[in-house]
Amino acid sequence: MSDDSNNTMSQEVPEHCPGTQSSQAGKSSACQGCPNQNICASGQANQPDPDIEVIKDHLKNIKYKILVLSGKGGVGKSTVCGQISYALAAQYESQNKQIGALDIDICGPSLPQVFGVQGEQVHQSGSGWSPIFVDENLSLMSIGFLLPSLEDAVIWRGPKKNGMIKQFLRDVDWEELEYLLVDTPPGTSDEHLSIVQYLKPAGLTGAIIVTTPQEVSLLDVRKEITFCKKVGVPIIGVVENMSGFACPKCKIESKIFPPSTGGAEKMCEEMNVTFLGKVPIDPLIGQCCDEGKSFVKEFPNSPASLAYKNIITKIEKYTELNGE
């Protein structure tokens, strides 16, 4: 893979970097010995990034760009991102429209597994990196394709992660897409600030936030909603995942994760955010993700598939109303 050739800054920066945009850039004690000290002290690093315009132009053929966020790990964000992508691809297949997924969960890229394309090699041509086709109208680009093995951990500091996100946005050769879903790491980190910085000027449609019904997860979702409001990312809505388990034999529903404070629906009312729906626990979803299959295609009449279909109807309504 090529290096980030437009970036003249070294990505090896001290742990306590005050931030290249801060007034202390190049002057703080943490900057002593940093290879970027001269550039930061001169104020050059504080200039608008010229790649923002390059990315805007590069992504102009992607109609809707959606971030998939979660307050914490383990709520099934990548599963939801993968199954919504599959459901949208099925929905737009007859119209020959393309759906893309971009996995920037640098420390835990799961989408190659969810889409059954782990171990695939990304090819590079004159027009950039070619995403991997999962289906005729569904393609994926993931950091997972760039790691030597699935067991490899990515131990990168902020600037290097951010450089990779920029490279993904600038160098992946997407076709004309109807939707691009971006699977992000849990929480609100440097990666989120980077993706928002680059995607907003290119027309970021909004964010879908995934949670489970428990208060411990909802607490972090409230922070995620506050983050979106602060950085000006519209919230398309919240998905409550793992919302009850309907026994396929006796049909009795059990609450595996009890919604002690009313669950995501009540939180959405309180925070004036759209509730997109509840996806029940179904062991077959996990099985489909392990086998890289589309759950909504394999089990179209299950309650979870119907939930996914309702969710994408709400997403489509939002995108129609709120434009490109």
Part of the chain binding ligand SF4 (CB under 6 A), chosen from 25-33, 167-175, 267-275, 315-323: 25-33
40-69 residues in contact with ligand SF4 (CB under 6 A) are 40
Angstrom CA distances, 85 to 17, 89, 267, stand at 37, 6, 25
**Binding of ligand SF4 by 36 (CB under 6 A):** yes
107 annotated as ligand-binding? no
Q: Is residue 294 close enough to count as binding ligand SF4 by CB under 6 A?
A: no
Residue 46 or 261 having the CB closest to ligand SF4: 46
Cβ pair 213, 258 in contact under 8 A: yes
Specify the 3-state DSSP secondary structure of 315.
Answer: helix
Of residues 157, 151, 233, 232, the one with CA closest to residue 190: 157
Cβ atoms of 247 and 210 within 8 Å: the answer is no
Question: Within 157-186, which residues bind ligand SF4 (CB under 6 A)?
Answer: none
Two tokens, residue 185: 């790491």
**Does position 20 bind ligand SF4 by CB under 6 A?**
yes
Q: How far is CA 201 from CA 65, 246, 324, in A?
A: 11, 43, 12
Contact 32, 26 (CB under 8 A): no
By beta-carbon proximity to ligand SF4, the closer residue of 12 and 290 is 12
Q: Taking each helix axis as running N to C, give the angle between helix 215-231 and helix 263-271, from 0 to 180 degrees, rounded to the nearest 10.
A: 30
Would you say 9 or 271 has its CB closer to ligand SF4?
Answer: 9
Binds ligand SF4 by CB under 6 A, chosen from 1, 2, 7, 34: 34
Q: Contact region for ligand SF4 (CB under 6 A) — 15-23, 201-209, 214-222, 252-260?
A: 15-23
Residue 303, φ and ψ in degrees, nearest 5 = -55, -35
Nearer Cβ to ligand SF4, position 21 or 61? 21
Q: Does 4 bind ligand SF4 (CB under 6 A)?
A: no
Cβ nearer to ligand SF4, comparing 14 with 116: 14
The answer to the question of whether 254 is labelled as a binding residue is no
Separation CA 115–CA 181 (nearest Å): 14
Residue 31, interface with ligand SF4 (CB under 6 A)? yes
288 a known binding residue?
Answer: no
- Buried b or exposed e, range 299-308, using 16+ CB within 10 angstroms: beebbbbebb
Left (φ > 0), alpha (ψ -120 to 50) or beta: where does 291 sit?
A: alpha
Among 4, 11, 17, 214, binds ligand SF4 (CB under 6 A): 17
Question: To the nearest whole angstrom, how small is the minimum distance from the Cβ of residue 25 to ligand SF4?
Answer: 4
> Is there a binding annotation on residue 268?
no
Region binding ligand SF4 by CB under 6 A among candidate stretches 20-28, 137-145, 192-200, 265-273 = 20-28
In the complex with ligand SF4, which residue's Cβ is closer, 26 or 213? 26
Q: Which residues bind ligand SF4 (CB under 6 A)?
A: 13-14, 17-18, 20, 25-26, 28, 30-31, 34, 36-37, 40
